[in-house]
A and B are shown apart, each in its own frame.
Chain A
């Protein structure tokens, strides 16, 4: 593979001393207070608290009472560039990522035009090299124009930095086409990330099929629309010895299909979004268009199975599926509204507040699952260790805040968690060695 898979805008390597901060990196086995020196964008020293002195030119960060975590990795975001910059662009989207503590993201190709050729990928990467606050990787389309018919030039795309491929937003309906992509993967590598949905079952639906859709008179999407495709494609991947990643799982049957495929030794992985982990069809009852997403919010039983799947490791990682839409696009009757919620700025805080604080998941496990996406795409996992590039997020776990109260970093505001009282505020994000985000009220002690 020729090109480096992640690109970011111009930035200045950080020099800082974080003093007396509680460092938590489950993979590195660290869970204690330290002084942490970052020099030229690398973690230079980890020492007992109070033992390191600030050097000339270093920014001093008071870490007392705060956690320092490896920066999160989001394998599924929509940055809407090119063509839909009224919803989001590379700068606003990566700013939202940094504000949520993410040190890198992977962007989906369902833009206008669709990213399905090397020249398009190259120009998008050039734009990211000018505008992105945090490193961005790209998944071009599996099929030309996301039409599910002909493969894109996967090998050439890989040479130009494609991390893998996806038709996200749409399924690869034709099993024969997906089989060809799986065979072609032997030549070019690259994970095939799959949005699973059988349109013959989901057709006409705009929310989960069940008592709520029946009461509202809204066409339902049955969860078997997803799970039958997960089962089909896991079987195909096993047959072709391919590598697939299932995007945004939403129901219990899908979790079971992934677990069964993993038990057979098929190379599959899976992600889940914060909204599927925390919300259900009941949240759609008011027809708030921020609750309209694909796959739709399902039942309480599905939600519980997703949480358990994430805990057990059947589901490998958290992905936001950050899907910005302009206000006027969402301010329409539910059935007319586009699918999607933003999520980058709230992902950690909602999961910390709703799953870690009540004791459902440990903070260690949440940090692990919010950074695990990198390895799935054969990228280095962010780690807090001497000699590693600084990919850090500093969080005040006790700080309370309400998403949306001071606006958003994203260009769009269609967040399903807006207005909830949350705990856990990102104060500082260092991505690929540079400061990518600093909370407005968080002051620099000295520089």
Chain B
């Protein structure tokens, strides 16, 4: 594997390999010194065009636990604000010879584009509303730990599917792992043609009790001002996952950050069914596994020769 651009590019075997490696790395996190020398001397560059604390710090932590050097490049306050194009920024940063670039942008396909412009391994940390593959991998990891296997499981993804890269990556990843996926939400936030990805579509939560896993998506407040739904109140009434709708045997997931009282009620966030903090924990080990998968195969850099004293 040279890059991680989308879940679409992965088969079940590749997903299992990464998740399996993550399980081995999980043991590292429990040590007193949470660090292995696997990627010593490698450089990982985080290139983020969107505000992101969680994903970025999760990648940073993952790289550091593998002993790689990390450089963070945020688009705000940089040359990007001075009008530099994505290509020029990538070419400029490539001059530092990073081994991997972790990139997030608001534009679909940008990770794939960047992979054509430089020789570094590219990790897609979110490209517009297209994909967020490491999120899907950490969700598979979390569910495997909880359920054992995903085969035959019914997973409902609930909420704003139209604007969610998490939804797209997870629909693909869960299905590749043998689960059946249903997306549910207000018709204005379910894109036309989404069935082509193989999922079922529902506009109410009437059949939610049949789900083994309920995956709630973040409902962004700007969707209200854009009038995608009549009101927050009506959204909550029809689509909020709360104690009344969630049955005790169901597992509850959310990509974070949670809007308490909107897509999830407070009591379900705090319930033992919720694996939301386990997802965050999984983020680090899964991203370690991804970086390891991409970088450990490439030739180890030879150390610079010691300067000779005359």
Contacts and interface: CB of A to CB of B under 8 A. Distances in A.
9 contacts: A211-B193, A212-B196, A215-B197, A216-B130, A332-B85, A332-B86, A332-B107, A333-B86, A333-B108
A216 B108 contact: yes
A216 B109 contact: yes
Given A287-B112, A331-B87, A335-B107, A210 B192 contact: yes
B240 interface: no
A215 B108 contact: no
A218 B130 contact: yes
Contact of B193 (A214, A331, A334, A335): A214
Interface in B178-194: 191-194
A219 B194 CA distance: 12
A209 B194 CA distance: 11
Given A212-B193, A287-B112, A217 B131 contact: yes
Given A211-B193, A214-B193, A217-B168, 8 more contacts: A214-B194, A216-B109, A217-B129, A218-B130, A219-B129, A287-B108, A333-B86, A334-B108
B169 to A, nearest CB: 10
B266 interface: no
B110 to A, nearest CB: 4
A333 B193 contact: no
Interface of A: 209-220, 222, 287, 328, 331-336
Looking at B86, B106, B193, which has the most chain A CB atoms within 10 Å of its CB?
B193
Given A217-B128, A218-B129, A328-B85, A334 B196 contact: no
A343 B110 CA distance: 26
B192 A215 contact: no
A189 B197 CA distance: 51
A204 B90 CA distance: 27
A331 B90 CA distance: 13
B165 interface: yes
Contacts of A213: 191, 193
A214 B109 contact: no
Contacts of B135: none
B149 interface: no
B224 interface: no
A334 B195 CA distance: 23
Looking at B129, B130, B197, which has the most chain A CB atoms within 10 Å of its CB?
B130
A215 B196 contact: yes
B107 A333 contact: yes
A335 B108 contact: yes
Contacts of B85: 328, 331-332
Given A328-B85, A332-B85, A335-B128, A218 B192 contact: no
B170 interface: no
B109 A220 contact: no
| Closest 5 A/B residue pairs (Cβ) | A333-B107, A217-B129, A211-B196, A211-B193, A287-B109
Contacts of A214: 191-194, 196-197
B238 to A, nearest CB: 22
Contacts of B232: none
